[in-house]
Amino acid sequence: MKTIEVCLTPDLLHQYSVVEKVAVVVDVLRASSTMITAFAHGLDRLMPVAYVEGCLALQRLGYMSAGERDGAKVEGFDFGNSPYDVMNGDLSGKSLAMTTTNGTLAIEKAKSAKKLMIGAFLNLSALAERVKELNENTLIVCAGWKGHINLEDTLFAGALVSKLGDHFEMKGDSALAAQLMYNTSKDNLYEVVSQTSHAKRLKKLSAEKDMRFCLEPDKYDVVPILDSEHLVAQPS
Ligand code: MLT
């Protein structure tokens, strides 16, 4: 049986051999949720960029741009990091460059994986099916917040581990801890996540409705996958 592990923050990634694994990068609030929403609304490809300067350079080359620093839209970008921005942004058939405080950085750190996919509650079941089909040792990489763990990504990791439990062997106590936390929170996920530090940050930015949206399970069946440098909606 293949294994499923959870890396609770990208700062712990050196403890896992990501090159030998399928990586699922998750930033529930809000980068991975916004990416999934953009693809569900027709986006062609997305270049995840670690730094603002890289995103602006791609914008000059004709990409649309999206992203935030500390939650707030970056000046000069077309979109912020809200799922509502990209679903109303007419991104159909377009290329998007995106940079966020933690999410795109986690992708950058995990991109040596055998395959890299993007997960959030929005695509939970479709993602679980894709992971099962691939049937490789799998590592869930939580984006966290500036090197610290966060509860919302840990809860998502627990949800995905729960879906895969019969097909994969859980490896390491972080997978177990994530699953236990999810099991005690799943019936009141919104109330639990409302207490997190990022929920408080989003509240100050008047983005509470983003949080409610990002916690909706299985809204979309699209699974973004890294294909060379771009994320695409289908494996090539
Ligand atoms: C991040 O990458 O840190 C987040 O997506 C921040 C946000 O909610 O905008």
* Res 90: pLDDT: 87
pLDDT digits (tens, 9 = 90+) for 48-81: 999 999 999 999 999 999 999 988 999 999 999 9
Ligand 1 center from residue 127 Cα (angstroms):
21
pLDDT digits (tens, 9 = 90+) for 105-144: 999 999 999 999 999 999 999 999 999 999 999 999 999 9
According to the model, what pLDDT value does residue 142 have? 98
List domains and CATH numbers for the chain: 3-227 (3.90.1560.10)
Look at residue 175 in the predicted model and tell me its pLDDT: 97
Ligand 1 pocket by C-beta < 6 Å: which residues? 27, 29-31, 68, 71, 81, 100-103, 143
Q: Report how far ligand 1's centroid is from the alpha carbon of 30 (Å).
A: 5
**Ligand 1 site-directed mutation target among 35, 55, 102, most atoms within 8 Å of CB:** 102
Concatenating the DSSP letter of every residue in 18-53 gives: GGGSEEEEE-TTTHHHHHHHHHHTTB-EEEE-SSHH
For residue 220, the CA-to-ligand 1 centroid distance in Å is 20
For 102, the token pair is 């933690």
Side chain identity at 150, as an amino acid letter? N
Q: What is the pLDDT of residue 217?
A: 97
Give me the mean pLDDT over the 2-19 stretch. 97
The confidence band for 235, taking pLDDT boundaries of 50, 70 and 90, is very low
For residue 173, how far is its CA from the centre of ligand 1 (angstroms)? 26
pLDDT at residue 184, as a whole number? 98
Q: What pLDDT shows up at residue 206?
A: 87
Distances (CA, A) of 176 to 63, 94, 115, 131, 150: 41, 40, 23, 18, 16
Q: Whose CA is nearest to atom 8 of ligand 1?
A: 30
Q: Kindly report the pTM of this predicted structure.
A: 0.96
